[in-house]
Amino acid sequence: MANDSGHSHWFHENLELLRLLLNVYPHPETRFRRFGADNPTVTALGLAVSLGQLQTARLLIDHGADIFATQWTHLDGAWPDFETDVFGLASKRGDIAMMRMLLDASRNMKGPSPMVYGLDQSLILAVAFGREEATKLLLNSGVAVSAADHFLRARGAGHRTLVERALAQQNLELHLTLVAAGASVDWSAVMDCFSFKLFHSIKQKDVQGAMSLLSLKAPPDDLYDDFPDTALGAAIGQGSRELIQLLKIAGVTAEGHRIPYIPNMETLSCLEALGFLPTILRNNGQMILTCAILRAKEDGLVEYLLSRGVDQQEMKLGPLESFDGWLDNLGLPECQSPLEAALTRRNMTLAQTLIHRGALATEKELNAIAPTAVGMAVLWGRTGIVRVLLNFGIDPRGLVYVTDPPDEGEEITNQGSGWWHRETEEVVPSVLEVAASKSDREILQLLLDSMNWTQEDKSRSLTASLFWRNYHLVSDLLAACAGVNQGMMERAVVSDKVNTELLPLQVAVNAGNVDMVKLLLRRGAKINQIEAGAGGKTASQIAAKTGNVDLLALLLEKGANVNQPAAENMGATALQFAAMGGHIEIACRLLDHGADINAPKSRKFGRTAMEGAAERGHIDMAAAYAQ
């Protein structure tokens, strides 16, 4: 019917209807399952008390409802296994008016003692749920803390005392109420509670609250499982001079404290004036510098930190990797060095400064596979970054894990550190191939000049430049001795097809670029070489398929074989391609050069010339072949 928190808006008090029902069915002890099938029940009175329906509860009592009946509720776990009575349910809610009404009702009933379970369970529920006023009412009614604790101990060793429960809630007022009523003081637990409240007061920039807790001797140097993990770190993060000064007066030394960042120069000046800064920078300098670079505020903080040499010293508390997740808590990319932070923010001037000051441009420093870092910079057209990375001595050779470049005007977000940290969509064998797919000649030349590339890398890149029709890059790749008879598999380029080789000459023919075809033939392209893999074709077969009469004529003139056999899988001869495409002029030219109309078809998905023409409905073509 309702969960234990009580959704009272589901149950509206309708006293007239309740009176009518009680007159017809005078059994108020009917029980209800509040917690689902097969779970313990409560009475109608228990339900009314749990929902805070005072008038309903009074009416049920007037009609004989038993206020001593057993009720079940939750204490520590999800299972309603704590046995109490309606007064316990009211105490759990902290419903003072209901509690007073029930006390009065119990005194008016016959019997030696109000409440069959006593009030110990009620006190336990009031404390467990932080009901201070209910706790005071019960204590003033004569309930003993020791008796409630004895009851809890009887339930098992794992059950905490009332004081422990109050301190676990960091409820000092409730704790003091219990101590005043005779509870033993656990000073260790009290200090822990003070410490946590101090930490959270500082995180909330509550100067008065922090001052009060420090006056109560709250420990100011404790470590917390939080971010940041010290009171001083929280005060610095708030940029609060008052809180930092309070902690200094309280005896904080900053030794061993992890301070992830300093928000501004004003806070830094305060730390320096109070003597904290040398220790903080010695322990956390590179982390603070990395955060300052990523936050990209032009307030002189980065320059000051560099003047203190924090980029050149190891952190006493361990490398940046040991601050795992801290940058993410600040909403910043997870960089592992100031250099990576500078590159992430595309601050090339700062990156070069860091390198000149001795920063290492290794894969560890970049937090990435080096070829991928260069490849993403190439893909996104960051010429300056490419130049810097190459000047750092990074070897860009190897597999490149790439993703889509950002849309025009899109900012690089904080979802990943660096421009290379996006979800990988493709693996390209070489960054040179990535460069060839783009139109930036300067980047390609930077890469070609940077080191000795393999023949395969250069040849693949030549094919990529032709595929993407970046013809202005072809001469540079040929000048670098790219081979014209070695291609790449189509899958590596971004096509949905797989296992089909792309050769430079075939790519140029497919694009219909006569000048590129002539250039490649002059450089030694094999005119009858067939692409490897499914659907492989010669240059003349592609010309026939695309219906390019001029290119076919050129290829035939240069010695193309008109009867080159069809590829075994999804292939065709030049004449078969012309038939299927309805290119009658191409077909006639091929026949004039001796094309075999009865040449065997491809073993898989092949068609003879006649079958291809008939299947595609090219009647004129079929008629020409028949003649």
Instruction: Report the CATH number that the domain containing residue 292 is assigned in CATH.
Output: 1.25.40.20
**What number is the average pLDDT over the span 610-618?**
78
Answer for the pair 163, 174: CB distance below 8 angstroms, yes or no.
no
Cα–Cα distance measured from residue 575 to residue 555, given in angstroms and rounded to the nearest whole number? 14
Neighbouring-strand partners of residue 31? 43
Q: Are residues 100 and 244 in the same domain?
A: no
531 in any annotated domain: yes
* Last-in-domain residue among 183, 210, 231: 183
pLDDT computed for residue 275 by the predictor: 95
Q: Are residues 117 and 248 in the same domain?
A: no
Q: Are residues 601 and 627 in the same domain?
A: yes
pLDDT computed for residue 493 by the predictor: 38
471 in any annotated domain: no
* Last-in-domain residue among 278, 312, 346: 312
Cα–Cα distance measured from residue 202 to residue 210, given in angstroms and rounded to the nearest whole number? 6
339 in any annotated domain: no
* pLDDT digit string, tens, across residues 530-572: 998 888 999 999 999 999 999 999 999 999 999 999 998 889 9
Answer for the pair 521, 527: CB distance below 8 angstroms, yes or no.
yes
278 in any annotated domain: yes
Q: Are residues 159 and 287 in the same domain?
A: no
Q: How far is CA 432 from the centre of its chain?
A: 31
Q: Are residues 150 and 40 in the same domain?
A: yes
Quick one: DSSP state of residue 358? Answer: T
Q: Are residues 110 and 175 in the same domain?
A: yes
By C-alpha distance, which of 420, 292, 309, 403 is closest to 366?
420
407 in any annotated domain: no
* pLDDT digit string, tens, across residues 133-149: 999 999 998 899 999 98
47 in any annotated domain: yes
Q: Are residues 219 and 141 in the same domain?
A: no
Q: Are residues 162 and 77 in the same domain?
A: yes
* pLDDT digit string, tens, across residues 489-541: 765 333 444 457 899 999 999 999 999 999 999 999 999 999 988 889 999 99
Q: Are residues 83 and 207 in the same domain?
A: no
213 in any annotated domain: yes
Mean pLDDT, all residues of the chain: 83
By C-alpha distance, which of 373, 361, 274, 257 is closest to 316?
257
Structure tokens at 575: 């004449």
Q: Find which of 51-65, 109-123, 415-429, 545-559 is predicted with most confidence, using mean pLDDT.
A: 545-559
Greater confidence, 331 or 10? 331
Q: Are residues 175 and 248 in the same domain?
A: no
Cα–Cα distance measured from residue 19 to residue 25, given in angstroms and rounded to the nearest whole number? 10
- What is the tally of helices (H) and strands (E) in the chain? 35, 8
Q: Distance from first CA to last CA of the chain, Å, rounded?
A: 89
Residue-number span of the structural domain to which 603 is assigned: 527-627
* pLDDT digit string, tens, across residues 163-201: 888 888 878 789 889 989 988 877 887 788 888 889 999
Rounded alpha-carbon distances, angstroms, from residue 2 to 8, 33, 48, 87, 88: 8, 9, 11, 19, 18
The 3-state DSSP class for residue 83 equals: strand
Structure tokens at 169: 């809630």
The long-range contacts involving 329-334, CB below 8 angstroms and separated by at least 24 positions, are 329/227, 329/260, 330/260, 330/261, 330/291, 331/414, 332/291, 332/294, 332/295, 332/414, 333/294, 333/414, 333/415, 333/416, 333/417, 333/418, 333/421, 334/367, 334/416, 334/417
Query: What is the sign, positive or negative, of the torsion defined by CA atoms of 463, 464, 466, 471?
Result: negative
* Last-in-domain residue among 258, 282, 312: 312
- The full length of the chain comes to 627
Q: Are residues 170 and 63 in the same domain?
A: yes
The HSE-up count of residue 258 (CA atoms within 13 Å, CB side) is 18
Query: What is the sign, positive or negative, of the torsion defined by CA atoms of 368, 370, 372, 376?
Result: positive
- The pLDDT confidence band at residue 3, using thresholds 50, 70 and 90, is very low
Structure tokens at 277: 């800064």
160 in any annotated domain: yes
Instruction: Give me the number of domains the chain comprises.
Output: 3
* pLDDT digit string, tens, across residues 228-286: 889 999 999 999 999 999 999 999 998 888 888 899 999 999 999 999 999 999 989 99
Q: Are residues 46 and 168 in the same domain?
A: yes
Locus of tokens 């009171």: 231
